[in-house]
Structure 1
Amino acid sequence: MRLLVTGSEGLVGRWFSDALRAGGHDVVDYDILLGDDIRDLGALDHAMRGCEGVVHLAAISRVMWGETHPRLCHEVNVGGTASLLAAVARQRQAPWLLFASSREVYGDPLFLPVMEGAAIRPVNHYGRSKVEGELLVEAARATGLHCAILRLSNVYGGLNDHPDRAVPSFLWRALAGEELQVSGSDMVLDFVHVEDCVKGLMTAARMLSDGAASLPTVHLASGVPTTLLDLAETAVDTAGSASTVKVADRRSYDVRGFVGDPSRALEVLGWRAGITLDAGLRRFRDDMIARGRPLAAVPVPVAVPLGVAGERRNVLSGALD
């Protein structure tokens, strides 16, 4: 397969692109870190030529960034998806599309575990942008686009992750013997190792490549609930640390919790999470120790129009999501 992967330098994107190449596939990388703008229809059109499929991972992907930069979040996540779909429609032979959405579309679900048919009720800008992106993809599906939507849960496990996300932040602080700060100790989440996530994406891509015209929306979730306090204490145990844990109130735009029912992913994709949180944290710990330093806290470049063609600036915001 020759595939265009947007967001190819992100946590999931890099692992996914590496897995594709290891399988002998041709990958066209497209990422803001490479100077690519997901809102640029002409650039997308050019990059997409000759591609059998498109895997759309690019996004303003942090809840905090969506809150501090709501307009930009909408431009990139909604406008960028619209540009991507317009580029798909321009191709002589339209590629299939795999769209990475998020568990944030469910907002605060009424019941756990969450099934894919649960009410869509996002509570933050990022979640709302993902809902709008899904609606754009569904509209294109109605006109004949072969596509699939996968809603990702809390993915972790790569050294290219943002250092202030929960798992890398807790684990590195524990390794360093520093205090761990937990916002919303009773918030329950569903953690999926990036390797498992990539396997789900690979399976969906393979099914689309093999001729599946449409797949039902599926979330990639382990079905295992873990509170943030449990995560912090497990990180301390994994690091063999004497670090203490400080608890603060949950942020206003954070969900109270999410745990996904994994049954549809098993039925549709034959997928289930295979790496337990304990095992994933031990692997991540060993990778961090081998690296010998914290994950790099560098600005995340996001193209922002400044009134002068070609100008860009960096947006950097710290968050713990």
Structure 2
Amino acid sequence: MRVLVTGGAGFVGSHTVVELVAAGHDVHVVENFCNSERWIVERIERLTGQSLSLDELDIRDREAMRSSMHRFRPDAVIHFAALKSVSESTQQPASYYDVNVTGTATLLEVMREVECRQIVFSSSATVYGQPEACPVAEGARVDPGNPYGRTKLVGEWMIRDCASVPGAVLSAAILRYFNPVGAHPSGLIGELPRGVPNNLAPYITQTALGLRDHIRVFGDDYATPDGTGVRDYIHVVDLAKAHVAALTLLSAGEARALTLNLGTGRGYSVLELIETFSAVVGKPIPYVVQGRRAGDIGECWADPTLANTVLGWQAEKTLEEICADAWRWQQACVSAAE
């Protein structure tokens, strides 16, 4: 298939591009590099052994998107391009709605124009807000507690509405994934935050290397076994493979607007994650407990049964493998900068 990937040099996007090429797909990336670096493209090419077809553009630019899609004529789109920080979204909500909602609307309009009829959408477990119970199944109440989660939910609504238009024949897989972590086992690509990381795993690895004094643990008074937040950490390679499986499902004509949770089905606390990283690194990693962070919730982990059944997929990598790959990537980043 000819697959256009928005945000294909980002964290999940880059790993998915590698898996798409390995599966024999013809891939074209559109990317504005607001959350990624241009040298990631060369890393993807090293991993795939192929030159990467890419247009540098902003998905809100309708004319640029129209030109790119008319030239490439994709059979399907995998849509990652978005702003993605929960905490930042509480400070810059208008920017998040502009990029995440306007960008998705523009993409859907151009897809209609070029008659591209399949989309895999990068959504998030944040649409559930504070779950009433865990594990969380797809039928759970959605009530996002921050602007980022609300932009993802609006994106879902738009896609479902487009798929319900008579004669439109748009098919969609909406993938609500939990906490992507880890890195490619090669150490060539991984999570690459700019400035102070918003996500926990890169903050831990940077602290382990001495780039930061300590980890900030936001809250130890949640109703969880050790008081710290509990999340479902899924390896980014497992996540990437799920996107390829979803694309295969759509191409077989077996779905119209399918929503799936992508996770491991197991929750780990912040302290458990720090302890596992410490064991992998071989030394204690210092942390300091602070007050709760705006927009955070106590616990959230997936019921991935539907994805396991429908996609024939399941997360395979352990928490130890997640930490080992993330640590290898962090060390490689520092070595490359020296």
- Name the TM-score class by shorter chain: 0.7 to 0.9
1:225 aligns with 2:267: yes
Take 2:327 and 2:77, find their aligned partners in 1: how far apart are those partners? Answer: 33
Q: Which runs of 5+ in 1 are unaligned?
A: 297-321
Aligned to 2:63: 42
The one-letter amino acid paired with 2:158 is L
CA apart distance, 1:184: 2.5
- Is the CA contact (8 Å cut-off) linking 1:174 and 1:180 kept in structure 2? no
Aligned to 1:162: 193
SS in 1 for 2:163: helix
1:150 aligns with 2:175: yes
Aligned to 1:83: 106
SS in 1 for 2:258: coil
Aligned to 1:132: 154
Aligned to 1:301: none
Aligned to 2:6: 6
SS in 2 for 1:192: strand
- Is the CA contact (8 Å cut-off) linking 1:221 and 1:261 kept in structure 2? yes
Take 1:203 and 1:40, find their aligned partners in 2: how far apart are those partners? Answer: 29
Q: CA RMSD in A?
A: 1.9
- Is the CA contact (8 Å cut-off) linking 2:90 and 2:147 kept in structure 1? yes
The one-letter amino acid paired with 1:10 is G
TM norm structure 2: 0.82
Q: Which runs of 5+ in 2 are unaligned?
A: 34-54, 184-189, 221-227
Aligned to 1:318: none
Picking from 284, 303, 312, the partner of 1:242 is 284
Range 37-46 or range 257-266, more displaced: 37-46
Note the alpha carbon deviations across 1:155-210, whole angstroms, 9 max, x for none: 01233432612111112312439422211241110100000000100000111122
Note the alpha carbon deviations across 1:90-140, whole angstroms, 9 max, x for none: 11x333111110000000011011111000000000001111110000100
Take 2:321 and 2:17, find their aligned partners in 1: how far apart are those partners? Answer: 23
CA apart distance, 1:295: 8.8
CA apart distance, 1:43: 1.7
SS in 1 for 2:264: coil
The one-letter amino acid paired with 1:214 is R
CA apart distance, 1:8: 0.8
Aligned to 2:83: 60
CA apart distance, 1:215: 4.8
Range 23-32 or range 173-182, more displaced: 173-182
SS in 1 for 2:8: coil
Take 1:277 and 1:269, find their aligned partners in 2: how far apart are those partners? Answer: 22
SS in 2 for 1:234: helix
Picking from 246, 256, 268, the partner of 1:204 is 246
Take 1:98 and 1:57, find their aligned partners in 2: how far apart are those partners? Answer: 9
